[in-house]
Structure 1
């Protein structure tokens, strides 16, 4: 997250000229590289090294809030648009994964009620979703008999191996990837945007930023608009099949699935240590891992003695209203961005990237436009 003087090329070295350069080799950056025909992709780490390779792998209808809560927060029209956008994004993810031979499965999802209060909210949400034409089924009792209060079933949802899809998209793009190539400065010049990175300098006519949690470290405009938030997970060794669907509960703070190989993957409990989890570090912590262990033992007793094969963490980037930020910088309109996915890069990322590309082509972004935060600071066009 910083670059030393001795780690960079000589300042007099001539930059390489490119038309389009993408910063960030995660899911969104790789898709942007493909759709924009970018020549170069730079990443501080490696492809899918951030949240794109460290997530729960779920393709879900909606966002973390229930449909009822989203309608209350955003208004019913915007909430409905968000839900339909996640469906469109889900289908786009499945389409690309299928086309590129990346693992994906349409297994349905269960949004479990983790408390009596959440049960009431999900029941109301199911009714509202039905009224608005969404295919969903409400179970007033836990259909899996695992100690939950009830569940909302979305039959068309699924699960995906996002790291492999990210790699496949980047390969398909034909762009040249520079790993371990942290960008430490973007300088506006008359001839283009000078991109300074560990591995070299580039002069680009267009720069697309897809750095999510790390955006504020490169672009000061996002210092208070994209906040890091760590998510922690564990995976058991492969066990016999016990779970079909992709699963969510506790208002999205806990999520789980069983992979085709048999690993039971459980993530979450960030809400039990919000301040501690507001970090760029991707190490695990005892308090969260113990909570994940407890969840495994309570709700999956047949897997309680299974060896834990892996524990890991990944850092997400959260926007103030939990909606992605798409647009261009006012100080240099040649710099575009799609960031702040708020834990829903798999659920909204490709559509948000398409919205950015449409904006760059002259159609203003709407649903995710960063202009909603620009009324007073005028940072974005």
Structure 2
């Protein structure tokens, strides 16, 4: 261990709360702990240069589920569970906006759309038929109808006649959101250390001994907010799920505005800075995309490019500027795991691909577990 006296004294001595992960959940957890324990020492450890996982890599959708995704969830969850999930996502979005402000996250309420390919007629007809039912069960949350039919005005190609419109969906700038969260955490005397990877921990009677990189230190409480990476240390039923994304160079006179979904949310795209950002495709290879490796695959990138060329921008010239991937946390159940693992250890993980919507609320709930 090559730490100085000063480093030990000011960063790693008498730590009250150590949070693993500086993403949406971890930062909101730290801010909530600061409110409850104003004089405590709070330390966040992040293994990446920037928040790893999905917090700085997501598509910036302020959404709570497309119509076909909600109907798909009803196949594996009860109606009450699905309603509770949507309520949490909606409440989480309001909390995010309240905590940071719409300007800081570049919140744009353009609405969301779901489109259906010509080959996806069974799902399309099912959604149209069951649309009134979903509106009915969501009315207690939104006090109004959420989904409606709209004729395509974006000049997409190879799709069914109607889009499904959701006026409650919006888009944000993911980078601005995370910068605002980091600034707020630092302003609240929360210590954040990057490129520090927690590799083990051992609970003691009065706290936890944490091993990170080549040193160890004691903390009174340890909180995991690592989502897709949670299974590595907590043994939770969380599976990593890679999401691949691409973005075009700026397109003159781009007339597409909003957030868009296809195929139960497995594909998604939006406008940003006169570009199209498009991601998804893990349904093409669930096993291969159950990984914590940041990479792109030819199979999925080819499908994304085909959708871009044949469906989204069939009459527009464009070039692709950049590609990346993020790691989400999934499971057989979409309900997040927020629980106390032992006397001094807690976790808030498995956000089910809805980190923007639900991350702030899960961070709050994680902090609330601490007595």
The TM-score normalised by the length of structure 1 is 0.84
Q: Aligned to 1:67, which of 67, 70, 85?
A: 70
- SS in structure 1 of the partner of residue 164 of structure 2: strand
CA contact (8 A) 1:59 1:346 kept: yes
Matched, 1:108 2:111: yes
What is the 5 A alignment of 1:41-60?
Answer: 41-60=44-63
Matched, 1:180 2:228: no
- Report the equivalent of 2:159: 148
Q: Aligned to 1:26, which of 23, 26, 29?
A: 23
- SS in structure 2 of the partner of residue 348 of structure 1: helix
In structure 1, the gaps of 5 or more residues are: 1-7, 362-381
What is the 5 A alignment of 1:313-352?
Answer: 313-329=325-341, 332-352=342-362
Change (3 A) 1:176 1:266: same
CA contact (8 A) 1:316 1:343 kept: yes
Deviation of 1:299 after TM superposition, in Å, equals: 1.6
CA contact (8 A) 2:66 2:264 kept: no
- Report the equivalent of 1:212: 227
Q: Aligned to 2:308, which of 277, 293, 296?
A: 296
Change (3 A) 1:100 1:297: closer
The RMSD of aligned alpha carbons is: 2.3
Q: Partners in 1 of 2:227 and 2:322 — Cα distance? A: 25
- Report the equivalent of 2:135: 130
- SS in structure 1 of the partner of residue 113 of structure 2: strand
CA contact (8 A) 2:24 2:363 kept: no
Q: Aligned to 1:249, which of 248, 255, 262?
A: 262
- Report the equivalent of 2:38: none
Change (3 A) 1:73 1:141: farther
Deviation of 1:207 after TM superposition, in Å, equals: 1.4
- Report the equivalent of 1:232: 244
CA contact (8 A) 1:97 1:103 kept: no
Deviation of 1:19 after TM superposition, in Å, equals: 0.8
- SS in structure 2 of the partner of residue 52 of structure 1: coil
Encode CA deviations 1:14-41: one digit per residue, 9 max, x unaligned: 9522111110011111111111126211
Change (3 A) 1:97 1:193: same
Change (3 A) 1:93 1:120: farther
Encode CA deviations 1:321-345: one digit per residue, 9 max, x unaligned: 122111110xx22111111112111
Change (3 A) 1:303 1:185: farther
Deviation of 1:142 after TM superposition, in Å, equals: 3.8
- SS in structure 1 of the partner of residue 301 of structure 2: helix
CA contact (8 A) 2:46 2:193 kept: yes
Change (3 A) 1:293 1:312: same
Deviation of 1:54 after TM superposition, in Å, equals: 1.1
Q: Partners in 1 of 2:13 and 2:297 — Cα distance? A: 42
Q: Aligned to 2:98, which of 95, 101, 104?
A: 95
Matched, 1:117 2:132: no
Change (3 A) 1:64 1:199: farther
Q: Partners in 2 of 1:100 and 1:39 — Cα distance? A: 27
Q: Partners in 2 of 1:23 and 1:34 — Cα distance? A: 14
Deviation of 1:177 after TM superposition, in Å, equals: 1.0
- SS in structure 2 of the partner of residue 49 of structure 1: coil
Q: Partners in 2 of 1:17 and 1:355 — Cα distance? A: 24
- SS in structure 2 of the partner of residue 194 of structure 1: strand
What is the 5 A alignment of 1:258-269?
Answer: 258-259=271-272, 261-269=273-281
- SS in structure 1 of the partner of residue 335 of structure 2: coil
Deviates more, 1:68-77 or 1:236-245: 68-77
Q: For CA contacts below 8 A with separation 6 or more, give which structure has more relative contact order.
A: 2
Q: Aligned to 1:82, which of 80, 85, 91?
A: 85
In structure 2, the gaps of 5 or more residues are: 35-40
- Report the equivalent of 1:371: none
Matched, 1:312 2:309: no
